[in-house]
Structure formats: C-alpha cells, structure tokens
Amino acid sequence: MKQEGKRAIWSEYQKEIADDKFFYVRSCIRQNFFPGSEVAFLRIMRDVLKKDVYEHPCHTTCSGIGYHGDVVPVETAMTVVARQFALMTEAGYTNYVPSCITSFGLYTEILDTWHHFPEVEEKVRKQLKKATGREFRIPENLAHASDVIYKFRKEIFAQAKYKLINKETGEPLKVVDHIGCHYAKMFPSKGVGGAEYPYVLSGMVEEWGGETIDYPERRHCCGFGFRQYLVQANRGFSVACSKEKFESMKPFKPDMIITNCPGCPMFLDRWQYVINEMEGKRYGKNGEGIPVFTYEEVAGLVLGFDPWDLGLQMHQTDCEPVLKKMGIEYSPEDKYNTKICASVSENHNLINV
C-alpha cells in the first residue's frame, strides 16, 4: 500500500464544511438504534467545541427510507426535503447538518437534481408553498455530521483524555472504517476523500492515534440495504453481506469498527451476534466479537465520556475489549443500570417544543 497515493487522492477530494451555526437534523432510526450517539454529537458540539447547533422540533423524516425502499416517489421526497430546508430558513440557519447518511445522500441528490433541472426545483417550491405555505432557501453548506466531527478532529484531540492506542503495548488500535454507502458512492466529490478511499473516518482515527485498515471488502455494503433487512425472509442476504466483510477483515485482526451511518453500526454489530448464534463464528481476538462504534461514540470515548452515557450498553457485541485496550475507566456494574443521562443538561432539551 502506497500511502502517498492515497494522500494524493484525498487532497483531490476536499469539501467545504461550515465552521459554526449548524442546523442539525436527526436520523429516524439512529434515535432507536443507538440514541447515545446523537446526544454525544450535541454534547461534543455544544459543550466541548462551544458551537451553535440548532434543532428544530418540527423536523420530520426526510423520507429517504421510503424513497430507497421504493414506496415514496422522488417528487414527494423532494417536497418533504424542501420543507426541512424551509425549517432551516425560518430558523435563520444556512448550514445544514444531517445525522443520517441516507438523508445526506438524498439531500445531495436532490440538490444536484435541482442544480441540473431548475424547473423541478421551481415545481417543488410551488408544491411546498401550496401545501404548507412555507418557503425555503437552499443551504449554503451541506455537510454530514461526520464531516463536522472530521473538521474538528484536531480540536477534539486537543481535549482528548484517551487515545486510540493500546495502553499496554503502545501500539495504535487497528480500526476498520466503514462508510455508509450513501455518503459518497453516489456523489464522490461530496465526500471527504471521495468514494473509493474515503477519508472522513480515517482522518479521525489517524488524528486520535489509531490506524485504519484497508481490507479487500472495505467498499462492500454492511448489508442493511433497506429491502434486504425490512423483509424478514431477505435478512439472509443482509447477514451474508456483513459476513463477507467480517471474513475479509479478520486476517487484519482489527480492534474495532468505526462507522458513520445509522444502519451500518446496527447491522455490523447485530449480525456478529447472529452469525455467532447460527454458526458459532466470531471474528475478533480470543473468541470475542469486533466492537462496532459510531464516530460520535469514538469521539466521546476519546474525550473521556462515560461509556454507559454514550449508550455502549446498547451494543450486542461487547465493547469492553476496546475500553480495556484504551485504558478507559468504567464501572462494569453500571452497564445496565438505567440512569438519567448526565450529559443531557437542562439547557439543552432534546426536543425544543
């Protein structure tokens, strides 16, 4: 592997990411899968980085799941998205930050469509106006939440309590970075590092002391695939996808997986459990699984957040091996003790009704 070659490509795929004043929109499914992640994002942005992040109570689904599941027509999706933009416009923000990769992909796709077909944009504007009376401006900056964390990776590291380094050996942790398909595969120029060698997560990992692994099935989908997962009979395809990735990454002996998509951490995490149940196979060291994290969780760990505040107890593949390697202090007995999340300050209600 020639790193300089990769760096050359990364330098070609840089994107503009806003510095402050973010209009943050949550993901439909992340809130259920790993709710700690979005909370951690807000905590990092607001408390650690002291940024202005606004959340609108009237934000709805972007309808991306329906769009990719072939039940929502594109024009409907556009109108729903136009409404989100209207909320941003009304709130006085211009930097749109979705938490969801599929949303990010859909927004990118829609903006690109409008760019090439202004008449479609006009039609959507009319439809939105007619239906809701709202008007919108196109965001000045569209960045995925992981882009934002990527942008502030150095600032985060400046306040880091832990590094992605095995405390006992001093070796960097080997990290598999898994990028959501809708991040850059459709529009390579809209992703940090492009589609073939995305840098958005690698950049964080490198900055925080770890080392990313480039394994053959790196580009492969996690297997979520919407229709594959949603229909129970099709879930075999979904597991098979994840399995192909695990088989491929196994020889590299990864310590952990980092993801930036709502579905990927869920499936890479859950399918390890399912594969173990079905076939008795594990892919980590010492018969363990490979812990799977979202980038917010990793950032939170680096910043010294409590693992259970980050919601790591929600993972089916135990995350403790990584906690131990990083030397993170945590209390095992509190893992499943429900408590009010300390991070949610009264000033920042989750829902600003």
Partner 1 sequence: MEKFGFSISKGRQIDYEANDRRVADFIYEREPSFRLCIECGGCSATCTTGNLTKFSLREIHILIKRGENDKVREDIKKCMLCGKCTLVCPRGVNTRNIVMLAKQAFIKSDEYAV
Partner 2 sequence: MSKHVIVIGGGVAGLEAAGQLSKAGIEVSLIEKDSLTGGHLNNWYKLFPDRRHSSEVKAYLDGISLNDRIRLLTGTTVEKFHRNKSHFSIITDKGKELSADAVVVATGFDLFKSEKKEEYGYGIYDNVISSSDLEVMFRSGKIVLQNGTVPKTIGIVHCVGSRDEKAGNLYCSKLCCVTAVKQAIELREHLPASKVFCFYMDMRMGGAFYEELYREAQEEWAVNFIRGKVSEASETIDNKLVIKVEDTLAGRPLKMELDLLVLMAGMEMSEGGKKIATLSGLTTGQNRFFSAADPHYGSNRSNINGVFYAGTCTAPMNITETISHARAAVSDVMDYLKESN
Q: Tell the smallest beta-carbon distance from residue 222 to partner 2 (Å).
A: 17
Q: Which of 157, 187, 215, 237 binds partner 1 (CB under 8 A)?
A: 237
What span, in angstroms and rounded, lies between the C-alpha atoms of 152 and 45?
Answer: 9
- Taking the C-alpha atoms of residue 261 and residue 205, their distance in angstroms, rounded to an integer, is 16
> In whole angstroms, how close is the CB of 95 to partner 1 at the nearest point?
42
Total binding residues toward partner 2, as defined by CB under 8 A: 18
Query: Of the listed pieces 100-108, 173-181, 227-235, 292-300, which binds partner 1 according to CB under 8 A?
Result: 227-235
Residue 100: what are its φ and ψ, rounded to 5°? -100, 140
Binding to partner 2 (CB under 8 A): which residues in 244-263?
A: 251-252
Residue 9: CB atoms within 10 A of its CB come to 14
- Given the complex with partner 2, which of 1 and 233 has the nearer CB atom? 1
Residues 6+ apart with CB under 8 A from 278: 239
Using CB under 8 A, pick the residue from 8, 230, 231, 342 that binds partner 2. 8
DSSP 212: E
Binding flag, residue 9, partner 2 (CB under 8 A): yes
How far is Cα 139 from Cα 88, in angstroms, rounded to an integer? 8
Q: Which residues in 170-199 contact partner 2 (CB under 8 A)?
A: 194-197
Amino acid at 132: T
Find where tokens 């942008």 sit.
151
**Between β-strands 141-142 and 174-178, what pairing exists: parallel, antiparallel or unpaired?**
unpaired
Helices 101-116 and 74-91 pack at an angle, to 10 degrees, of: 100
Kindly state the tokens that stand for 167. 């405390």
Contact between 217 and partner 1 (CB under 8 A)?
A: no
Q: How far is the CB of 279 from partner 1 (least distance, A)?
A: 7
Contact 165, 326 (CB under 8 A): yes
Q: Decide whether 118 or 236 has the Cβ nearer to partner 1.
A: 236
Which 200-239 residues touch partner 2, going by CB under 8 A? Answer: 214-219
Q: Tokens 């309808």 appear where?
A: 63
- Asked if 5 interacts with partner 1 (CB under 8 A), we say no
Considering only residues 121 through 180, tell me which ones interact with partner 1, judged by CB under 8 A: none
Residues between 260 and 279 that touch partner 1 (CB under 8 A): 274-275, 277-279
Answer yes or no whether residue 236 interacts with partner 1 by CB under 8 A: yes
286 backbone dihedrals φ, ψ, rounded to 5°: 50, 40
Q: Is 282 one of the binding residues for partner 1 (CB under 8 A)?
A: no
Of 30 and 174, nearer to partner 2 (C-beta) is 174
| Amino acid (one-letter) located at 51 | K
Q: Which stretches of the chain bind partner 2, using CB under 8 A?
A: 1-2, 5-6, 8-9, 194-197, 214-219, 251-252
